[in-house]
Amino acid sequence: MTFKDALPSTKDIFFDVDVFADSHSIEYRDVDCVIDTDINGKSSSHDMSRDEVRIFIAVEECDSKGLAPKSQGETLNVDGTEYFIESWSHEDGVYVIYLNRYGSQVML
């Protein structure tokens, strides 16, 4: 079995609420996803008080909940907090969403 053959079963485990995923309110819908606040080693997982958040959601989960991808600069409500979208990408059946609480950060 190749890595690619194993990926679908790995993805199922990753998004299993009994293993890694949790149910969170995203745009006022209960969504099973994995939220990571340990971006660049700055904080610990599942602490939604952080300024930067990365969310992993299975595309099928978004489709079943009526969540469509949004664009950079738009807002996304996660567990009652409004975040600005830095990026929303699709990688092998998974949406990877980078958010922050203060809009686009300008690097000088």
pLDDT in tens, 75-96: 999 999 999 999 999 988 899 9
Q: How far is CA 93 from CA 40, 61, 96, in A?
A: 24, 10, 10
Domains of the chain, earliest start first = 3-100 (2.40.10)
- This prediction has a pTM of 0.77
Here the tokens at position 34 are 């994995």
Q: Which of 65, 62, 77 is nearest to 25 (CA)?
A: 77
Alpha carbons 68 and 90: distance in angstroms, whole number = 12
Tell me which H or E stretch contains 7.
helix 3-14
Contact call for residues 71 and 87 (beta carbons, < 8 A): no
- Residue range 45-70: mean pLDDT, rounded: 84
